[in-house]
Amino acid sequence: MINRITLDETSWVEYVTGWLPGPDAPDPALLQSAIRLTEEYGVSYDGLWINFYRDHRDSTGSHGDWPTCKRPVCTVPVLSLGAPRRFLIKPRSGGRSIGITPRNGDLIVMGGRCQRDWLHSVPKQARPAGPRISVNFSSSFQATRPT
């Protein structure tokens, strides 16, 4: 199921539950996932980086994905594997966060001006959680400044 959240006039986030079938064995599926995302969003995904969260105490602070998104408009897919963890996104100018809790195999896609105008994070949490990996698909085209 795809749930699109319109953040403002120029930014959006999609949350796709169960996007990766058979997420217990994702290694051979990563190349096929990049191809599928390229076809779905019209962006050539030719790289990825992985974040490993050992448990509920690991986190990332609020940030935009500047190293891989140097253009005004980018589309950044993030595949969640492992234990569910909260994903928060809030306006860079301040305001309330929107929370999503992706489960094993779910996909979050940040698009439009989301990387410039919004900040996202995976906060620490009090409730124990097992390991989680986020697979972030990147595009060398989006990682270059426009001329």
Averaged confidence pLDDT in the chain: 93
Does the pLDDT of residue 145 top 80, yes or no?
A: yes
Listed in sequence order, the residues at least 6 apart from 98 whose beta carbon sits closer than 8 Å to its beta carbon are 5, 7, 13, 88, 89, 90
> In the predicted model, what is the mean pLDDT of residues 45-71?
94
What is the amino acid identity at position 101?
Answer: T
pTM score: 0.84
Q: How many residues does the chain have?
A: 147
Report the pLDDT averaged over residues 143-147: 92
User: Is residue 25 pLDDT above 70, yes or no?
Assistant: no
58-67: average pLDDT: 94
Residues 6+ apart with CB under 8 A from 89: 7, 13, 97, 98, 100, 110, 114, 118, 119, 120, 121
Domains of the chain with bracketed CATH: 2-138 (2.60.120.590)
93-111, pLDDT tens digit by residue?
A: 999 999 999 999 999 999 9
Q: What pLDDT digit, counting tens, does each position of 4-20 carry? A: 999 999 999 999 998 87
Strand arrangement, sheet containing 2-6? 2-6, 11-16, 107-112, 76-82, 132-138, 47-53
**pLDDT value for 35:** 92
Asked if 111 contacts 12 with a C-beta cutoff of 8 angstroms, the reply is yes
